[in-house]
Structure 1
Amino acid sequence: MRKSEWSDEQIEELLGQLPKIIDERDPQEVYQNISIKLNRRKHKVWIMPTAATAAALLLLVILVPRLFNFQNTEEKSMESADKSSPSAEIAMEKKNITKDKEQNSTNEESAVPFAAKESNDTNKNIGMRSIEFEDQSTAVYEEDIGGREVLTYAIPDDNVEFIVPVSIIVSKEENKTKFKLFEDYMERLTENDWGLYDYYPLMAELKYEEENRILNLDVPANQSYSLSGSAENILSQVLTSTMKSLDIKEINLSTDGNPGINFGYNGEIKKFVPDDDQFGNHAYYFYYPSKAEIKPFIVPYNEKISTIEEAFSSMRKGMGDEKLIPSIPEDIQFDTVKDPAENKLTIRFKKGTTINDDASTLHTIEAILLTAKEFNYDEVKLENAQIDKIGRFDLEHEIKVPVAANKRMIGQ
C-alpha cells in the first residue's frame, strides 16, 4: 500500500479550513433520544425468552391431554385387572353411590314446579321422580305458614270462564292489616306467568272498615265489570271469594262516589250479597292452563253439590268442557265414613285399589282434602292404602285439610 504523501501538519491545516459543526439541540432532547435507543435494545433482548415461554406453553397444551388419556387408560386397565377381587367391587360400588348422590343433589337444585310435558308417559315418570326430591304438594298447610300471612286471590282462567283460587304467603308488616296486605300485593301478582287472566289490581277504590267488617268498593264510570253477563258473574265470584278469605261481612258498591253500580243484566246494585251456591259444598278438579304443566291448579267449580259422595263422583268425570279434568282416577275406588261430631272424614280404599307414592296420587289426595274442607271437615284419615306415606302425608295419622288452595310464589 502506497504511503500517504500528506504530512500531519498539512492534514491539520486542511481540517482547520472545514466549516464548524454546531449541535443546536437541547441537551435534554439528546438524552431522551439516547434513552429511547437503549430501551429498544433492552426489549430486543427479551424476544428469545418470550418465544421460549410460548413454545413451552404450546408443548403443555399438546402433552397434558395425552397425559390424562394415559392416566384414564391406566385406571381402566387397573379396574379391568382387579374387577374380580372383592375389594375392587366394594370400591366400585362406593364410587357409584357417590355419583348417584351427586346426581340426585343436582336434580334437586334444578327441579322446578312446572316443566314441559312431551307425552303422558314422560309426564308421569317425571312426577314420580320429582316427588323424591321436592315437595310436589300444591296447597298451603299450617306447617307452611310459620307466623306469616296467607292471601288468597280469586283469578279468572285465561278465557274468563271460571275462578282459580291462588294463594301466596307473605311476611306480616307492622301497622298493616291483612286486608291492607291483600290490597298491596294485588299489583304484584303475576297472573300471566301462571297462565291465568290478568285481572288484578281491581279497577276500583277499596276502603275497609275493620271494626264493622264492611268493604266499600267504588268503581269509575268507565268500569268494564258490567259489560257482559260473564264479566258480572266473574266479579261476583271474585267478591264472594274475597269475602270468604278476608272474613268480610258486607260489601257496599258505588260509582264515582255515588251509591250503586249499574250492571247491565242485573240493574243497579248498591250492596253485594253472594249467592248461596257460591258458599261451600264445591268439588275440586285439576286445571292445566297450557296442558304442559306437571303441577296442576286444583280448582272448585261454581256449582253447589248436596253431599260429599256426589262431589267425589263428579270429580271422576270433570267439568267445564274438559278444561276442569277429573281429579280422582277411576282406578282409585274408596268408601267414605263420616264423623260429623269430630269433623272427621275417613277414606277407606277398596280391595284391589293400588295407591302409589307419586305426584299424581298426591294431587288426587289434595283434591279430596280440599273438597272435604268445603263440607266442613277438618281432618281426613286414609285407610287400606298399603303404604305408609304419600308425599308429605303420613298415612298413619289423620291429615289436616289445607289452609288454602294453589300455593304460588311472587317476587318479594
Structure 2
Amino acid sequence: MKESKWSDEQLQELLSQMPKIKDNRDPREINQAIEIKMGKQKNRTWILPSAAAAAALLLLFILVPNLMSWQESADKQVELQADRSTSSEQIQSENNTIPEAKEEDSELIAQEEGLEEQEQAQLSTEPEAETSDEISKKIVASESSPTAVYEEDLSGKAVLTYAIPDREAQNIVPVSVLVDEDPARTKFELFEDTMSRLTEDAWGLDDYYPLKANFTYDQGNRMLTVDVPEDHPYSMSSSTELLLEKVLANVMRDLNIEKINLTTEGNTGIEFSHYGYREELIPENSTGNLIYYFLYPNGADSKPFLVPLREKINSIKDALTAMKQNRTENNLQASIPEDIDFETEEIQDGKLLIRFNNESEIIDNEPTFHAIEAILLTAKEFDFDTVKLENADVDKIGKFDLTEELKVPVAANKRDLPN
C-alpha cells in the first residue's frame, strides 16, 4: 500500500474549507430517535425465529391428530386381526357350548328387558328342557335290575331263600342267594353253611342270621331238630317269639320240611315266656294266598324288596286289584300303579292273560319292570306258570319280551353274597 503524501497541516486546511453541518434538533429528540432506531433493529433480529416457531407449531397441530388417528386405526386393525385369529381357533371347541349360552342369555333378556315379537316366536319353537319325571320314564331296559331269581340264573347254581325280618319287625322278607351246587351236600347243609355270609344290615334288614341254635336234619323223614341254648334270645318278647315261628315256618316251606322238633341243650322242648312250653313246630294252615308288595328299607330310590302278605283273597283278579293299594300298617307300598287298568283272563294249562286298557300308559322303566315282577310272583302263588301281557305301549320292558309269555320267577329278592 502506498503511503499518503498529505501532511497533517494539509488535511486540517482541507477539512476547514468544507461546509459546516449544523443540527438544530433538541438533544433529547436526537436521543429518542436513536433509541427508536435501536428498538427496531432488535425487533428485526427476532422476526425470522418467531415466524419459524409459529409455523412449526401450526404444522404440529395439523399433523399430530392425523398421526394419532392413523396409529389408532393401525392398532385397531392389529387387534381385529388378532381377535379373528383367536376366534377361528376357538370356534370348534366352543361350538357345543354356544347354543346353551345363547339360550340362557335369551331367557335373561326376555325377563329383564323383553324381546321383540319376532324373537319371542323364534324362542317358542325351541325344545323345552325335560322334567325329572320325563327323564325317569326314559330309563333304558339295560338299567332295570331284576329283583327275582329266574330259571336262566340257575346254571350250576342252587338257590337258597332266607326269611329275614325287617328292622321294624313288621315284615318277613324272603331273600334269595345263589351258591354253587354241590352234589355231595344236601340243600339244608348249604342253607346252614351260608347263614353266616348274609349281609342283612347292608340290605336294610335286621341282622338276624346265623340263628342262635344247632340244627339236625333228617332228610329221609323230612324232619328238622332245632336245639337252642338256655340263654337263647328268642323269648324276650312276644314279637321275638312270633318272628322265630315265622322264620322257621318259612324254612319248612322252602326246604320241604314237614316237622320241626324243638329242644334246649339236648332236652325236649323250649320254654317261651309268652307261648309257654313247646316241643315242636307245626305251622297252622292259613287261608288265602300270598300277595306281593314293595318294601324300601334303603329309601325310595333303591331297589325294592318284594314282600308277600297272606290275604284272604282267592282270585288272581282281586289279588292284582289289592296290589294297587298301600299297606301303611305294614309300611309297604303298592306294587302296581293305580292308573294302570287291565282285564284278567285265566286260561288253561297254568296261563294267565292280562290285557291293558287303552288309557293305561305302559313305560319301559324300572318301576314298571318291578311291577311286572310283583305280578309274576303273585301269579305263581295262584298256581300260574306263565303270564301273557297284551295291549301294552311297548314290546319290551327290561328283560321282559312282552310279545312272548313270561315265565314266573323261581324265587323272590335275589341278592349277592360277599366274595
Q: Is the 8 A contact 2:138 2:364 kept in 1?
A: no
Q: Is the 8 A contact 2:296 2:304 kept in 1?
A: yes
User: How many angstroms does 1:356 deviate by?
Assistant: 0.7
The amino acid of 2:344's aligned partner reads: T
Matches for 1:146-157 after TM superposition, within 5 Å: 146-157=155-166
Distance 1:197 1:138, change over 3 A: same
Instruction: Provide the residue aligned with 2:354 in structure 1.
Output: 347
Structure 2 distance, partners of 1:229, 1:303, is: 23
Q: Is the 8 A contact 1:205 1:219 kept in 2?
A: yes
Distance 1:256 1:350, change over 3 A: same
Q: Is the 8 A contact 1:209 1:215 kept in 2?
A: yes
The amino acid of 1:338's aligned partner reads: E
Matches for 1:48-67 after TM superposition, within 5 Å: none
Q: Identity across aligned pairs (percent)?
A: 49
Structure 2 distance, partners of 1:186, 1:367, is: 26
Structure 2 distance, partners of 1:201, 1:401, is: 30
Instruction: Provide the residue aligned with 1:404 in structure 2.
Output: 411
TM-score using structure 1 length? 0.68
Distance 1:215 1:389, change over 3 A: same
Q: Is the 8 A contact 1:162 1:302 kept in 2?
A: no
Deviations 1:221-266 (A, max 9, x none): 1112222222122112111211111111211111111111222333
Instruction: Provide the residue aligned with 2:379 in structure 1.
Output: 372
Distance 1:324 1:133, change over 3 A: same
Instruction: Provide the residue aligned with 2:215 in structure 1.
Output: 206
Number of residue pairs matched by the alignment: 301
Instruction: Provide the residue aligned with 2:335 in structure 1.
Output: 327
Which of 359, 362, 368 does residue 361 from structure 1 map onto? 368
Which of 216, 227, 242 does residue 251 from structure 2 map onto? 242
The amino acid of 1:309's aligned partner reads: K
| 1:274 aligned onto 2:283 | yes
SS in structure 2 of the partner of residue 300 of structure 1: strand
Instruction: Provide the residue aligned with 1:225 in structure 2.
Output: 234
Structure 2 distance, partners of 1:140, 1:289, is: 20
Matches for 1:240-319 after TM superposition, within 5 Å: 240-277=249-286, 281-319=289-327
The amino acid of 1:289's aligned partner reads: P
Gaps of 5+ in 1: 1-70, 82-120
Structure 1 distance, partners of 2:202, 2:135, is: 22
Structure 1 distance, partners of 2:209, 2:299, is: 24
Q: Is the 8 A contact 1:130 1:136 kept in 2?
A: no
Structure 2 distance, partners of 1:302, 1:163, is: 11
Q: Is the 8 A contact 1:287 1:299 kept in 2?
A: yes
| 1:177 aligned onto 2:186 | yes
Deviations 1:33-57 (A, max 9, x none): xxxxxxxxxxxxxxxxxxxxxxxxx
SS in structure 2 of the partner of residue 289 of structure 1: coil
User: How many angstroms does 1:159 deviate by?
Assistant: 1.0
SS in structure 2 of the partner of residue 170 of structure 1: strand
The amino acid of 2:175's aligned partner reads: V
Structure 1 distance, partners of 2:149, 2:217, is: 26
Q: Is the 8 A contact 1:327 1:367 kept in 2?
A: yes
User: How many angstroms does 1:290 deviate by?
Assistant: 3.1
Larger radius of gyration: 2
Structure 1 distance, partners of 2:136, 2:305, is: 15
Q: Is the 8 A contact 1:355 1:385 kept in 2?
A: yes
Structure 1 distance, partners of 2:345, 2:296, is: 31
| 1:137 aligned onto 2:146 | yes
TM-score using structure 2 length? 0.67
Deviations 1:86-116 (A, max 9, x none): xxxxxxxxxxxxxxxxxxxxxxxxxxxxxxx
Structure 2 distance, partners of 1:269, 1:381, is: 47
Structure 2 distance, partners of 1:125, 1:220, is: 56
SS in structure 2 of the partner of residue 347 of structure 1: strand
